[in-house]
Chains A and B, each alone.
Chain A
């Protein structure tokens, strides 16, 4: 069983390794110019330079701080919205259509107005990230609550739980799987949007590293940044997945990824 799991995990490496080999092959044959597709070796050297100069760590720290702020705010607001809409029919009636309408707008669609209202400083970036993080969180919380089995609520009524106890003892625990999915979606959205926000205007952060490198024709730095962004996102998602697994050990069917 354990061996099988490891085997399955290794399978996920097959395609990336094949791609890497193909990539190395085409760059060695110089089928593309090194600017259009920098060779893997060059990327590794570039990464090493960026790592040892401390430039990468500094910019990643700034981006991660922005994500932390935007994600916490967005997830919290999203959670509250989801709980409010899921628990109180009146709130759902008032806010539901608006929320469902608004969430059809891609977050980048808000860019012009966000820049107009908030400028291009930190406030804008955090608002932009939290807007993106809010939507999946609210949606998944709402869905999770909506899916709470009526028989659970029946039990709550039998025990004469108050509204608060019903929420904390019955509703939220049974909506937890869905809420945690929302949290993961929300975090990955936040991570993608920080790069977007930094591409718009920034003086630091990994998105800014990409902008500057692009302007100075350092395509290898752009590609290293893309890879670092991908790996960071992957690791963050895995970590949250682990936490999710810890919370949901009681669920037999749950398969921690």
Chain B
């Protein structure tokens, strides 16, 4: 009996000395809740950095000793849905596209952008036998789109280049999987969607009228890893460590293009689709977490555009008001990755 008590006390002391990180138990959450748009294929798996984290157990490597678990939520309502979940504290981190991240912040959602994300093309698809020949023909047409996502942002830019505004077309809000069906059954006359368009083309139900693939990076997505401000304030150290895990995963995802693309097929996207979508773009660029000139100029231009079209009602400067670089910089330094990604200029070319 006495021995048992001594053993227990010793065990408790050992645990207290070596078992936990400095600080009180209340200084850490039990679980970190991460949210991202669900893929059209419906599998509860991630691609990109979060895919690396899942496949290589990077989260547990960092947080297992604290007993903190990772919960990844796949939100069918995409970026706008992630915003809603962040606003009622159902999520801590989110990885979303440029328009939802900006609209959330402009709408008063208290977030911090802690790492950049980019890449993500938009495609304009039409039913296979559609008479639509050019983007100008979209005038007056019924177009399916997932409003409030990065594709909505790209749509504004694409329409504008062709002398059209969203008022010249009829946008019908639907998620990407509904849109795929709607194109196949011809309930819409066109759709703005992601690389799913390529899969639809392979299936022979749609034709790709236009793609941002190979065009200026301004037409692509420039999203962010965002975190609730209240989470950062409560758990600054946990935030720093989570960003470190994220940056590590991002570096792993930037090493070998084919290996990364193969990993990304785990969500259900065919390899051919991913290859075509990322053709001609260095994997370093697609994954760089840096808030470099490319990302900042993209965000600033987009914010001005969103304001013009009434998608947001107040503007802000991302650098001054929103981004917190401290976590990213610490992670890059910790992991000795400061030179791993080049800084890209406004056109997406590496700066000398």
Q: Are A33 and B173 in contact (CB under 8 A)?
A: no
B43 within 8 Å of A by Cβ? no
Partner of B87, one of A33, A202, A203, A211: A33
- Given A33-B108, A201-B174, residue A217 in contact with residue B103 (CB < 8 A): yes
Contact with B along A28-45 (1 / 0, CB 8 A): 000001111000000000
A215 within 8 Å of B by Cβ? yes
Size category of the A interface is: 10 to 19
B109 within 8 Å of A by Cβ? yes
Q: Are B173 and A212 in contact (CB under 8 A)?
A: yes
A176 to chain B, nearest CB (A): 42
Q: Are A203 and B313 in contact (CB under 8 A)?
A: no
Task: Name A52-66 residues within 8 Å CB distance of B.
Answer: none
Q: How far is the CA of A134 from the CA of B259 in the complex (A)?
A: 60
Q: Are A217 and B83 in contact (CB under 8 A)?
A: yes
A216 within 8 Å of B by Cβ? yes
Task: Name A203-251 residues within 8 Å CB distance of B.
Answer: 203, 208, 211-212, 214-219
Q: Are A211 and B173 in contact (CB under 8 A)?
A: yes
List, in ascending order, chain A residues with CB within 8 A of B173's CB.
201, 208, 211-212, 215
Contact with A along B118-154 (1 / 0, CB 8 A): 0000000000000000000000001000011000100
B35 within 8 Å of A by Cβ? no
- Given A36-B88, A215-B147, A216-B103, residue A203 in contact with residue B80 (CB < 8 A): no
Q: Are A120 and B88 in contact (CB under 8 A)?
A: no
Q: How far is the CA of A121 from the CA of B172 in the complex (A)?
A: 10
Q: How far is the CA of A121 from the CA of B83 in the complex (A)?
A: 29
B170 within 8 Å of A by Cβ? yes
B21 within 8 Å of A by Cβ? no
List, in ascending order, chain A residues with CB within 8 A of B84's CB.
214, 217
Q: Are B148 and A216 in contact (CB under 8 A)?
A: yes
Partner of A216, one of B88, B182, B312: B312
A255 to chain B, nearest CB (A): 44
Q: Are A217 and B104 in contact (CB under 8 A)?
A: yes
A215 to chain B, nearest CB (A): 3
B311 within 8 Å of A by Cβ? yes
B93 within 8 Å of A by Cβ? no
Binding site for B on A (CB under 8 A): 33-36, 119-121, 201-203, 208, 211-212, 214-219
Binding site for A on B (CB under 8 A): 80, 83-84, 87-88, 100, 103-104, 106-110, 142, 147-148, 152, 170-174, 182, 187, 311-313
Report the 4 A-B pairs with minimum CB-CB distance, sorted nearest first.
A215-B148, A217-B107, A203-B170, A215-B147
